[in-house]
Amino acid sequence: MRILADENIPLMTISELRRQRYDVWDIHKAGQKGLLDVEVWARAQEEGRLLITTDKGFAQYRSIDHYGVLIIRLRQPNRYRIHERVMWAISHFPETEWRGMVVTVRDRVVAISRYAREANR
């Protein structure tokens, strides 16, 4: 699976995803920190990548077709808690399910939205 890791995703998470053989493009390491959200979104879509972020603003794309969005929203985030939630979500949802899906992982709740391709044709 191809993944775009937004700048707030911990390096330990990116390393673990790569160890599991995911193709991860890391905004921070690529020297692209500070990209506008629209630029991040465009890159993820152009390259067919699941976007992993802590930015709730990306939930706005749930009504259009895309390659998947994982949003981590924790009350007191730290790299260990973000890492744990990302790895849980990646292992919980198969690669084939991410297309058109927005998953928001909170402290105790997981919200899932799916783009209905058939309903929007």
The pLDDT assigned to 121 comes to 44
The pLDDT assigned to 28 comes to 78
**Average pLDDT by consecutive 10-residue portion of the chain (121 residues)?**
96 98 88 82 97 96 95 97 98 96 96 76 44
SS3 of residue 2 by DSSP: strand
Q: Helical H runs in the chain?
A: 11-19, 37-46, 79-92
The pLDDT assigned to 35 comes to 83
The pLDDT assigned to 34 comes to 76
Q: How far apart are CA 118 and CA 109, in angstroms?
A: 28
Torsion sign (Cα): 86, 92, 96, 101? negative
